[in-house]
Amino acid sequence: MKDAFKLVANNKKAYHDYFIDEKIECGIELFGTEVKSIRMGHCSIKEAFVRIEKGEVYVHGMHINPYEKGNIFNKDPLRSRKLLLHRSEIDKLEGKIREKGFTLVPLQVYFKGSLVKVEIGLARGKKLYDKRADLAKKDAKREVEREYKEKLR
């Protein structure tokens, strides 16, 4: 039961806007009321981004609604939160980001057992024609599935 996986937030827009080259699972530093709010599903990473500052990794723009019963213990919903990674992983990511066109984006927030985990992706930006090609592939695949389904009837 230790590896129970419960998805809380997903960033579909990241897959549309970026090519994801590598995925990394990391922990996140949270307060108790924030964890309770995430358990209720009140978390959004649609506008979030990840930065490396002074050798530490932070996620900015991740919105966690204040916990209803948290009163004075609630924190700012949009505050920067520290991501927990090993030094070697941070150094590797920092080296990749210095290359042209790479960035870090949060992909998912989920529970692994009782711990909150964030999956971040090392991503390269897509051009407009790449996005159009992906949409065309998606439409073609949907059309083929529709035709196959009609044949079975």
- Tens digits of residue pLDDT in 91-149: 888 888 887 778 889 999 998 888 889 999 988 887 787 788 888 888 899 988 888 88
> Across all residues in the chain, what is the average pLDDT?
85
**Domains of the chain, each with CATH number or no CATH:** 5-125 (2.40.280.10)
Name the residue among 131, 141, 143, 134 with its Cα closest to residue 17: 131
Q: What is the pLDDT of residue 58?
A: 92
pTM for the structure as a whole: 0.75
CA distance 33 to 37: 6
